[in-house]
Amino acid sequence: MSGSLRKSAVNSVMRNNNRVLHHMELAKYKHKAMVELGFCESNANWAMMSSLLSDVKHGRVKAADAAGMISDATGLDIGTVRSKLRSCYQTGLLEFHATDVCDLRCIDCHYRDKSDATIPYSSVPGYINALSPRAVTVTGGGEPNCYSSEGKNINDLVCLIREISPHLQIGLINNNTHIPDGGWVNHLSWQRSSVDAHDAATYEYIKGKDKYSLCIDNIYRMLGSDVPHVGVGFLYRKENISGMKSFLLDWHQRWKKMPPGIKAKINIQFRPISPAIERVPEHDAGSELESRTSEMVAQVMAQAQSDACFDEFLRTYTNFYSIDISRKSLYLHEKHSFSKCYNALLHRVLRSDGSEYPDFLLCNDEEMSLGNVLTSDNADDERIRIALGTFYFHHRLATQYCNDENCRQCWVSGMIERNWDSDISAMGLPDSCFF
C-alpha cells in the first residue's frame, strides 16, 4: 500500500523516510563518537563499558565519575571525553512538551493527574541551543496553546524558538480549541488537530468538554493561514471506532468544497490508542477493538470501491490504507527488525517538568527518563549523563521495551541500518523534510 500513499500530504508529516535519512549525518557522528569513547561491542572493554552505561542510567555512577572512567579506559584526556559527550547531547528532532496545562479533560490522558508543569520561558533558549535540533514538534501532555510562563504565551514561545534558530522547522500537535493572537502560526511547518470524533457528542464524551464546533472552526482557520500542512487527527479506540466511516465521509464532503490550494494542505491521520508502552489486551488480535476496527475498515473500503472520488481522497489525503487488517494488528505500520536503536540518537522528548526521554511512549515510565537539566545542580554533568543514556538505549540495554514487538519507532532504526552505507548527499533529499 505504500505506493498508493507516496504522493499523500500525510507522508510529509508521518513516517517520512526522507526526514529520517536527513539525520543520517548526526547518527554517524554519534556512532563515531561512541566508538572513540569505547562504547562498541568490538571494544576489548565492552563488558565494562556496557555495565558503566547501565550504572549511569540507573544512578549508580555519577556522570563526572563516568567521564573519568572513560578517560582511563580509552587514554583520551578528560576534557576531550567531556567535549565529545556534550556534543552527543544534541538531537535531530525535539518533541517539546511545553506544558501539562489543558482546557480539556480527556478520559484516558496520561498526564491528567500530574501537576500542571510548564517549561519556564526563560529556560527555552538554553534547551534549544544545547539540544541544537533541526526540527521541533511543540505538543504536550497538555494543550500547547494554553502555554503561559513569565507573562508569555504560545505566540511568544514559538516566536522565541524561531528567533533562536531561524532555519528550524516547527510543527504543532494540539487540540486546537483556541488560537491565540499573534504571528506565531506563520512560523509553523505543519500543524495537526486532535479531533478524534465524528460528532459533537462523541467528542464531548472523549474530551470531557463541549468544544467540537470550536475545534472544527479553528481547523478551517489553520487551513486559511500560511501553514503548509494541516492535519486532522483521529485516535481510534472503542469509544469512537464506530464513527470512523462517518468521520471520513464528513471530511470528504468538506474537502470537495475546498479551493484547490486549501485541498492540497489537508491530511487526515489515523492512529490507534496507546495507553502504555507495553502491549495491552485491547491491541491483541481477537480483541473487541480489533474486530470492530476490522468491521469499520471493511465498510469504508466498500464505500471506496463504489466511489472513485472517495477512494482517491483516502489514498491521497489520508493514511487510512495503512490500517492493514490482514495482519490482525491495530498498529499502522509493519514491524522492522533492528540491531541498534538509532531513534534514541536522533529523537528527544522534553517533558514539561524538564525530564528528557528518547521516545514519547517511554514517558509513561519514569524509570526510562534520561535525566533532567532543569532540576539538576550541574547542567553540564546532566547533559553528559543524558548523552550516556542515549548510548544505553542505542545498544538496546533496556530489553523490556527495546525489541521488535514493542518498539513503535522500529522503522526509524530499520531505515538507518538499511541505508548506512548509502551516499545520502547524492540522494537529493528535499530540504523541507527534517520533520
Residue whose C-alpha cell reads 484516558 in the numeric block: 108
Quote the pLDDT of residue 399: 72
C-alpha cell at 123: 529556560
Phi-psi region of 151 (alpha: psi -120 to 50; beta: other; left: phi over 0): left
CATH number, domain 93-327, options 3.40.50.740, 3.20.20.70, 3.40.50.450, 3.30.70.20: 3.20.20.70
Residues 144-157, mean pLDDT to the nearest whole number: 97
Provide the CB-side half-sphere exposure for 114 (13 A, CA). Answer: 20
Under 8 Å between Cβ of 435 and 189: yes
Residue 236 sits at the vertex; the CA angle it makes with 231 and 240, to the nearest 5 degrees, is 110
- pLDDT tens-digit map of 202-251: 999 999 999 999 999 999 999 999 999 999 999 988 899 999 999 999 99
Burial class of 317 by CB neighbour count within 10 A (0 to 12, 13 to 18, 19+): buried
Residues 189-208, mean pLDDT to the nearest whole number: 96
Quote the pLDDT of residue 331: 52
Q: Give Cβ neighbours of residue 48 (< 8 Å, ≥ 6 apart).
A: 73
Domain-wise residue ranges, the chain: 93-327
- pLDDT tens-digit map of 20-65: 888 999 999 999 999 999 999 999 999 999 999 999 999 999 999 9
Helices 212-223 and 200-207 sit at what angle, rounded to 10 degrees? 100
Quote the pLDDT of residue 70: 97
- pLDDT tens-digit map of 298-347: 999 999 999 999 999 999 999 898 876 665 555 555 678 899 999 999 99
C-alpha cell at 201: 457528542
Of 307, 319, 237, whose CA–CA distance to 16 is shortest?
Answer: 319
What are the two backbone dihedrals, phi and then psi, of residue 137, each rounded to the nearest 5 degrees? -105, 110
Rounded-to-integer distance, Cα 416 and Cα 412, Å: 6
CA end-to-end span of the chain: 22
Rounded-to-integer distance, Cα 78 and Cα 33, Å: 14
C-alpha cell at 274: 496507546
- What integer best gives the mean pLDDT of the chain? 89
Rounded-to-integer distance, Cα 181 and Cα 158, Å: 12
Residues 112-139, mean pLDDT to the nearest whole number: 92
Rounded-to-integer distance, Cα 149 and Cα 199, Å: 34
Residue 380 pLDDT grade (very low, low, confident, very high; cuts 50, 70, 90)? very high
Burial class of 3 by CB neighbour count within 10 A (0 to 12, 13 to 18, 19+): exposed
Residue 292: CB atoms within 10 Å = 16
Quote the pLDDT of residue 433: 59
Residues 167-185, mean pLDDT to the nearest whole number: 94
Quote the pLDDT of residue 116: 84
More confident residue, 53 or 110: 53
Quote the pLDDT of residue 408: 76
Residues 149-171, mean pLDDT to the nearest whole number: 96
Rounded-to-integer distance, Cα 92 and Cα 165, Å: 13
- Burial code (b: 16+ CB inside 10 Å, e: under 16) for 171-189 equals bbbbbbbebeeeebbebbb
Quote the pLDDT of residue 324: 67
